């Protein structure tokens, strides 16, 4: 009887063994799959967006950076292409002002790490109390210049400086730049020619500080005025007024008195009447300081020069002076 009972138990155990082994197999298989998937689940949980609970956080998160150079637009509008520039007052070069009604009171923010590709630099508009996460607020006024030319060439750079000089003069010399942000086709530039920087300092009364955008995070300007097409939109009257202002400031900076001459024809007649003839000076401006050039050109009635960047010095001559520019044979 005992043997039969043991035999029955053995048979029952053998019958239960396959389901038990199958259950163990599925259990181990399930545990293995969970172990593999758990990091993915954790990553998915980590990517879950953080809840935004108030309006400031929502505004901060809504600041969208767009390419600083929009290649879909024309050359005069590809820089900060979502906004239209204005000429205010009439005759001024077209400009963008931040904050302003056109920007809905928002500041200009820039993330500009590239000096080779303007499409990799970006801009955004944001309210002062809701700047993009990690952005630094730079105090004071920023002069932002986008040019197809070269800020390191005084002749080319002069065309980008003129509208800022006009802006500064029209503000009653109160709008002094705390910094300059220079761009060429949307690419960051960190230098301007020495002569141009000296002229800018004489014009604005403050030392030129160029933003290098070396911070890892975006920067937002407390105030900014942007000229993205040099003197485009500026009429002749405003250009002449800006030139007069820059000349006056440069002469004052170098201790040169402003003397108003008669028209150029009378200057030539005076020269013809002098028995000893006119005073002629042959100089190389590359060997002269900024103020030496200002003093020389302020006393010059007729300038004769080969075509080149040195011709920018004619800015320091009186309005009614004369210029003779020589071009190399075959130059176009």
* 313 DSSP 8-state letter: G
Q: What DSSP letter does each residue of 177-210 carry, written as one string?
A: EEEEEEEETTEEE----HHHHHHHHHHHSS---B
Q: What is the pLDDT of residues 149-172, one digit of tens each?
A: 889 988 889 999 999 999 999 888
219's tokens: 């920067």
Out of 76-85, 104-113, 318-327, least confident range: 76-85
Where do the structural domains in the chain lie, given as residue ranges? 55-237, 261-326
What angle do helix axes 236-253 and 154-170 make, rounded to 10 degrees? 100
For residue range 247-281, what is the model confidence (pLDDT) as tens digits? Answer: 999 999 999 986 555 444 444 444 454 445 678 88
Are 135 and 214 a contacting pair, CB within 8 Å? no
Per-residue confidence at 14, pLDDT binned at 50, 70, 90? Answer: low
Is the preceding peptide bond at 99 cis, omega within 30 degrees of 0? Answer: yes
Higher pLDDT, 196 or 1: 196
DSSP per residue, 234-273: --HHHHHHHHHHHHHHHHHHTTPPP-----HHHHHHHHHH
Indicate the SS3 state at residue 78.
Answer: coil
pLDDT at 6 over 50: yes
CA 121 to chain centre: 10
Residue 1 pLDDT more than 60? no
């Amino acid at each position: 009887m005992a043997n039969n009972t043991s035999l029955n138990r053995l048979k029952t155990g053998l019958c239960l063994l396959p389901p038990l082994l199958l259950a163990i197999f599925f259990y181990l298989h399930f545990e293995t799959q969970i172990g593999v998937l758990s990091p993915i689940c954790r990553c998915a949980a980590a990517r879950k967006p953080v809840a935004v609970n108030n309006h400031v956080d929502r505004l901060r998160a809504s600041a969208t950076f767009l390419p600083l150079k929009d290649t879909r637009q024309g050359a005069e509008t590809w820089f900060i292409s979502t906004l239209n520039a204005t000429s205010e007052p009439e005759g001024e070069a077209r400009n963008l002002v931040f904050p302003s009604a056109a920007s809905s009171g928002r500041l200009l923010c820039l993330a500009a790490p590239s000096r080779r590709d303007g499409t990799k630099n970006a801009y955004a508009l944001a309210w002062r109390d809701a700047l993009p996460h990690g952005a630094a607020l730079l105090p004071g006024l920023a002069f932002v210049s986008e040019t197809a030319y070269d800020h390191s060439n005084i002749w080319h750079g002069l065309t980008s400086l003129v509208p800022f000089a006009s802006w500064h003069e029209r503000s009653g010399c109160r709008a002094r730049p705390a910094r300059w942000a220079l761009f060429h086709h949307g690419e960051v530039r960190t230098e301007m020619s020495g002569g141009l920087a000296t002229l800018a300092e004489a014009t604005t009364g403050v030392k030129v500080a160029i933003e290098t955008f070396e911070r890892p995070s975006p920067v937002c300007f407390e105030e900014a005025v942007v000229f993205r097409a040099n003197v485009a939109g500026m009429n002749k009257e405003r250009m002449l007024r800006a030139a007069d202002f820059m000349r006056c400031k440069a002469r004052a900076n170098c201790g040169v008195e402003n003397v108003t001459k008669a028209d150029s024809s009378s200057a030539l007649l005076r020269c013809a009447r002098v028995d000893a003839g006119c005073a002629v000076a042959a100089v190389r401006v590359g060997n002269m300081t900024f103020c030496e050039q200002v003093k020389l050109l302020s006393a010059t009635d007729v300038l004769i020069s080969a075509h080149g960047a040195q011709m920018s010095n004619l800015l320091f001559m009186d309005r009614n002076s004369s210029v003779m520019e020589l071009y190399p044979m075959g130059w176009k």
